[in-house]
């Protein structure tokens, strides 16, 4: 099998070399015969196309071409080009209307490995274009199509421009494929083992297909029958779902429980279906249908000789709520569903994390809850979803209350969906563990514990946590000392100690998922190094050498267009820009704004005095030649640190 990359039908690369094959269909150059021959050769030798959205676009086009090849080979090249363009617009219109495309994956004569689907970038929460992924992986050129698709091409220079653009897209797709290599290998193993084509499957689809596979075997119900099953509900009475062990001692949480008991939810309209906030021990906690979130004010919280930060998370919280309480979607056999769900959990604990099956079972455990609220899934039953989320919130609040009421001077820091962090006097550590043990016996769930040296808290979704140092053997110290940049080590009096750090939200900067916005990574890096290693932020920023870490990214949506405003030869000028931008803040340059196409409203992408330099194409030079405005980055870091350390002075910081 020799895989190829394809983009816009014009340029292809073999995966294991820099060999290129370019096809043009135009009156100036007509490669339709050679292109069809190429596609037929792909079929003959079982060669795959690796693509970005190939299942939804490129593969559809090549299938049309293969099915109408005789007609196309006898047609004038201009008419062939128009035919392909019409097909492309037809596909886009069907996608925009959320209609099924003409060819399913099994209909395609040339198989696709679609990195767009594989990475779930078609999901609304992760939706990403190829240009955006080019930005997030620091691709050297994130140029949009240089000529609008509706423009008639008349010159060879224009053809050359488009070819160059397509080759750039194909090469970047190859880079995405390489970054996804372990995920592709996993899908190949699963495809071979279960005889289900999972090459382009997202994690939720892997979960759905494998759960379906195992459940079909266990129940004797065919996959086809299971796929048709759903439980639709008009109204869910929350009070009917609450577990009998849920109870509280304080008026704050008793009121919360009564609010839940009196609530009803329409599954077709869950947005805003239940909202409630409670203040307890100085922390406001928000409740909804999905989870619990609460944190005290931003700041730096530290363990010391008298107090310690305890962190406790529920092991596989949502899966185990269903497993331990024997819940299942109503339309599925309860015993078989629960047995199978528990089997995934038990088997995963037996398998080392290095084994791909461990990851697969983790996907299944975590995705099943989400799929129960997906109308396109055979697991769909919104009451099953609500049982988990409502009882999860209430159960965690029970632990929260038990700790606060049972330990003198206990202070909550934060809590969310499956865990909480609390400062307690060190003398009460044993009492803390006793309370947790009591909660485990009540709920039949399990907790995992850590101790933190420091928590740098922005809010419940944005923080840096530094674990307490623990003593390790000398050999372990040597083996792991430099294995992870987030690990901390020290040697004192012949003893060896190890800790690690965890960054969340806007403080994350290492191994970010490609769909996330990585703008100005130098800022969280400077903040991390200040709080964790005590490095002066200004010195860190000015010594930092990665230009991409100084870059920001923006993408346009809807009725908006990017423009640059600048002065040229003493006169005001403005240029229309592409849909995805990469830029850095500079001393000179332009102001980038987005303008509404309907009412001409304008919004600066960086408000105030700051100027921008567009960085669509990478230009290699020493960092001092980029004209970076270091004050912008230092100001952002300074503002964040001031919010986290309100009493710190400018002199002390800078």
Extents of the domains making up the chain: 4-194, 522-653
pLDDT at 551: 98
User: Using one digit for the tens of pLDDT, what is the confidence trace for 204-244?
Assistant: 999 999 999 999 999 999 999 999 999 999 999 999 999 99
Hey, what are 153's tokens?
């091409």
Q: How many CB atoms lie within 10 A of CB 165?
A: 20
Of all residues in the chain, the percent with pLDDT exceeding 90 is: 82
Buried/exposed code over 316-355 (b: 16+ C-beta within 10 A; e: otherwise): bbbbbbbbeeebbbebbeeebbbebbbebbeebeeeeeee
Assess whether pLDDT exceeds 60 at residue 304.
yes
Asked whether the predicted pLDDT for residue 11 surpasses 50, the reply is no
Where are any strands of DSSP class E within 226-374? Answer: 236-237, 264-265, 276-280, 283-287, 292-295, 299-302, 307-314
Q: What is the DSSP string of 55-83?
A: IIIIHHHHHHHHHTHHHHHTS-HHHHHHH
Which pTM does this prediction carry? 0.91
Gyration radius of the chain over CA positions: 28
Q: Confidence class of residue 477 from pLDDT cuts 50, 70 and 90?
A: low
Q: At a CB cut-off of 8 Å and minimum separation 6, what does 557 contact?
A: none
Q: Is the dihedral of CA 427, 430, 431, 436 positive or negative?
A: positive
**DSSP label at 231?**
-
Neighbours of 425 (CB within 10 A): 16
Q: Tell me the per-residue pLDDT of 508-534, one tens digit each, with 9 for 90 and over.
A: 999 899 999 999 999 999 999 999 989
Phi, psi of 355 (to 5 degrees): -80, 125
Per-residue pLDDT tens over the stretch 537-581: 999 999 999 999 999 999 998 899 999 999 988 889 999 999 999
Q: In the structure, what pLDDT confidence band is assigned to residue 286 with cuts at 50, 70 and 90?
A: very high
Q: Which residue has the higher pLDDT, 126 or 10?
A: 126
Residue 110 confidence (pLDDT) above 90: yes
pLDDT confidence of residue 5: 44
pLDDT tens-digit readout, 59-83: 999 999 999 999 999 999 999 999 9
What is the per-residue pLDDT across 326-376, written as a single tens digit (0 to 9) for each? 999 999 999 999 999 999 999 999 998 888 889 999 999 989 988 999 999
> Taking 70 as the threshold, does the pLDDT of residue 3 lie above it?
no
Average of pLDDT values for 24-36? 93
**CA pair distance 390, 222, nearest whole angstrom:** 32
When mean pLDDT is compared over 273-277, 345-349, 379-383, the highest value belongs to: 379-383
* pLDDT over 70 at 606, yes or no: yes
* Confidence band, pLDDT 50/70/90 cuts, at residue 481: low
DSSP designation for 490: E
pLDDT on residue 480: 57
Please determine, for residue 455, whether its predicted confidence score (pLDDT) is greater than 90.
yes
Average pLDDT of the chain, as a whole number: 91
Q: Give yes or no for a contact between 113 and 199, defined as CB atoms under 8 angstroms apart.
A: yes
pLDDT at 452: 96
Residues 6+ apart with CB under 8 A from 368: 207, 211, 319, 322, 341, 379
Q: Please tell me the predicted confidence (pLDDT) of residue 16.
A: 60
pLDDT of residue 484: 63
Residue 423 in tokens: 């400062």
Cα dist from 107 to 91, 235, 248, 249, whole Å: 16, 40, 58, 61
pLDDT, mean of residues 167-189: 94
* Residue 9 confidence (pLDDT) above 70: no
The region, left, alpha or beta by phi > 0 then psi within -120 to 50, assigned to residue 233 is beta
Residue 414 CA to residue 411 CA, distance in Å, equals: 10
**How many whole angstroms separate alpha carbon 445 and alpha carbon 155?**
69
| 3-state SS class at 557 | coil
> Taking residues 383-412, what's their average pLDDT?
97
Report the distance separating Cα 474 and Cα 480, nearest Å.
10
Assign 486 a pLDDT band (cuts: 50, 70, 90).
confident
Biggest distance spanned by C-alpha atoms of the chain? 87
pLDDT: which is higher, 20 or 621: 621
């Amino acid at each position: 099998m020799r895989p190829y990359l394809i983009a816009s039908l014009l340029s292809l690369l073999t995966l294991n070399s820099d060999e290129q094959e370019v096809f043009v269909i135009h009156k100036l150059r007509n490669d339709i015969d050679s292109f069809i021959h190429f596609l037929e050769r792909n079929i003959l030798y079982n060669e795959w196309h690796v693509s970005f959205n190939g299942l939804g676009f490129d593969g559809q086009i090549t299938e049309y071409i293969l099915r109408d090849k005789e007609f196309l080979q006898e047609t004038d090249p201009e008419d062939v080009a128009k035919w392909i363009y019409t097909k492309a617009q037809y596909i886009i219109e069907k996608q925009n209307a959320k209609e099924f495309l003409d060819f399913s994956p099994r209909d395609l004569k040339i198989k696709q490995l679609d990195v767009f689907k594989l990475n779930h970038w078609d999901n609304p929460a992760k939706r990403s274009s190829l240009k955006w992924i080019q930005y997030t992986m620091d691709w050297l050129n994130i140029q949009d199509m240089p000529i609008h698709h509706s423009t008639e091409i008349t010159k060879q220079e224009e053809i050359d421009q488009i070819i160059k653009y397509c080759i750039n897209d194909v090469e970047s797709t190859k880079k995405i494929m390489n970054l996804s290599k372990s995920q592709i290998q996993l899908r190949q193993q699963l495809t071979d083992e279960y005889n289900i084509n999972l090459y382009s499957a997202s994690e939720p689809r892997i979960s759905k297909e494998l759960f379906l596979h195992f459940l079909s075997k266990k129940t004797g119900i065919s996959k086809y029958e299971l796929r048709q099953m759903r439980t639709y509900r008009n109204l869910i009475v929350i009070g009917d779902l609450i577990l009998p062990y849920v109870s509280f001692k304080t008026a704050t949480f008793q009121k919360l429980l009564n609010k839940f008991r009196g609530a009803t939810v329409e599954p077709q309209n869950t947005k805003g279906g239940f909202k409630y906030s409670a203040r307890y021990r100085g922390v406001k906690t928000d409740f909804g249908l999905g989870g619990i979130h609460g944190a005290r004010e931003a700041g730096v919280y530290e363990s010391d000789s008298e107090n310690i930060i305890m962190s406790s998370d529920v092991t596989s919280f949502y899966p185990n709520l269903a497993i331990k309480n024997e819940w299942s979607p109503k339309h599925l056999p309860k015993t078989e569903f629960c047995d199978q769900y528990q089997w995934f959990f038990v088997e995963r604990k037996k398998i080392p994390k290095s084994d791909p099956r461990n990851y697969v079972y983790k996907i299944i455990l975590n995705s099943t809850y989400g799929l129960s609220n997906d109308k396109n899934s055979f697991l769909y039953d919104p009451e099953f979803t609500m049982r988990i989320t409502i009882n999860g919130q209430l159960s965690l609040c029970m632990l929260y209350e038990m700790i606060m009421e049972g330990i003198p001077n206990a202070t909550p820091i934060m809590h969310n969906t499956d865990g909480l962090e609390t400062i307690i006097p060190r003398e009460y550590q044993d009492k803390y563990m006793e309370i947790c043990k009591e909660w485990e016996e009540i709920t039949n769930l399990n907790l995992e514990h850590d101790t933190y040296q420091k928590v740098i808290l922005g809010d419940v979704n944005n923080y840096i946590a530094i674990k307490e140092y623990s003593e390790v053997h000398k050999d372990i110290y040597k083996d792991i000392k430099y294995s992870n940049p987030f690990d901390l080590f020290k040697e004192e009096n012949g003893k060896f100690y190890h800790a690690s750090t965890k960054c969340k939200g806007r403080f994350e900067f290492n191994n970010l998922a490609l769909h996330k916005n990585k703008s100005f990574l130098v800022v969280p890096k400077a903040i991390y190094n200040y709080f964790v290693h005590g490095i002066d932020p200004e010195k860190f920023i000015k010594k930092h050498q990665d230009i991409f870490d100084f870059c920001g990214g923006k993408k346009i949506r809807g009725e908006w267009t990017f423009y640059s405003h600048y002065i040229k030869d003493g006169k005001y000028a403005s240029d229309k820009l592409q849909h995805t931008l990469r830029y850095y803040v500079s001393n000179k340059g332009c102001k980038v704004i987005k303008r509404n196409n309907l009412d001409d409203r304008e919004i600066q992408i960086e408000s105030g005095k700051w100027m921008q330099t567009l960085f669509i194409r990478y230009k290699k030079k020493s960092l001092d030649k980029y004209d970076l405005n270091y004050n912008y980055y230092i100001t952002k870091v300074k503002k964040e640190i001031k919010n986290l350390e309100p009493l710190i002075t400018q002199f002390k910081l800078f």
